[in-house]
A and B are shown apart, each in its own frame.
Chain A
Amino acid sequence: MFVAGIDLGSATGKVVIMENDRVASTVVIRSTASPEKTAALAIEEAASKIGLKAVSDLEYIVGTGYGRSGVSFITENISEITCHAKGAHWLNPGIRTVIDVGGQDCKVISVNADGKVIEFAMNDKCAAGTGKFFEAMARTLDCSLDEFAALALRSGNPCSITKQCSVFAESEVITLINNGERQEDIAGGLIDSIVRRLLSMIYRVGAVPQVVLTGGCARNMALVKSLEVSLGIPVIRTKEDPQITGALGAALFAQAKALIQNK
């Protein structure tokens, strides 16, 4: 029995197909202008990886993320908070705090021993502290996102960046470039500034170990390391791509729902 979870975020669409409690296929694609189209493309790609003919071969599909409502072939929608908690708990049952930094929003979720959400906090003002911010800053430093993370990791003396609004941070970064600061230290400073912003949200919920970072930005190891230093505790690395955690949670719900349906 194959089931799927789809996480339709602002920047990417993620699909996890599961078979008997095992991850059978995963895919991450850039979001299109239509969530329906993103979902269809992502699921087709994930299904074809394991020889399935897409939707008709999937017993149950759970959707999550910003774009989830209104996708015609999704069986049921579940909140992204619940899905992230479920996915993180399945990856590591010891996890109590999930920090999800996505393309356009970030959230901190406190999870109990059963993987249920106790509490959460979300950013509600702007995209600062999310993937969009990193994209803008990488553009300013004239590098890719991967290069940006690599630069930050090499920083020995991160610059002090005071602005977190991407518009103002950009002008501050340009000033630093013109002042001859090393690119590595500017990138390191940007990472630290975002971690400071995340901390205020993390402390609203509480940083109870074990802590995991999920979402696309979790692939940025400089962010992971800066967070570890600031929190003073290790950030757990997961066996699966941290970007698919929400879709994984959705797939786990799909699996449970399908079992009930087939009883």
Chain B
Amino acid sequence: MGEEYLEKELLIKGIEINYLYVCKTKLWYFVRGITMEQESDFVDLGKFLHEKSYFGEEKEIQIGSIKIDFIKKSDIIEVHEVKRGKQMEKAHIMQALYYIYYLNNLGIKAKAILHYPKLKEIKEIELKESDKEEINRAIREIEHIKSLKEPPEPIYQKICKNCAYYELCFI
């Protein structure tokens, strides 16, 4: 699991996994740099992990919307994410699973916890064998969408109304 592996995996961002499950049109535009909103609240986890100095310290770090707790003793990292609602739950779960998968590949044990403060719920997420397969499939599909010459046709769904791409998609 050398640097080379890390560089390759860095090509897929957590937000891309998320978008894959939200909308493929959005994903296509996003990976072509055609963005509609500042996606500043997403962590460049890869870059962050390069900073090896963080490891081994008991620290809680907040970057954008993702809070990562490093728990030294048990050597497990907790990825915490606070979400507003469950409308896009699948996308949230897959994004969280991807982070765990990613950390696992670096030899780091991890789990994720999704917080839904409005619903007063939390959800613990662990990576199972079957999840790994799904993530692999997702990565392949993202690569496929990235390679498409034209964006997938937008298909109207409920979330479109509040999507920053709405005008671009339906004009």
Q: Determine if chain A interacts with chain B.
A: no
**Interface residues of B, Cβ cutoff 8 Å to A:** none
**Interface residues of A, Cβ cutoff 8 Å to B:** none
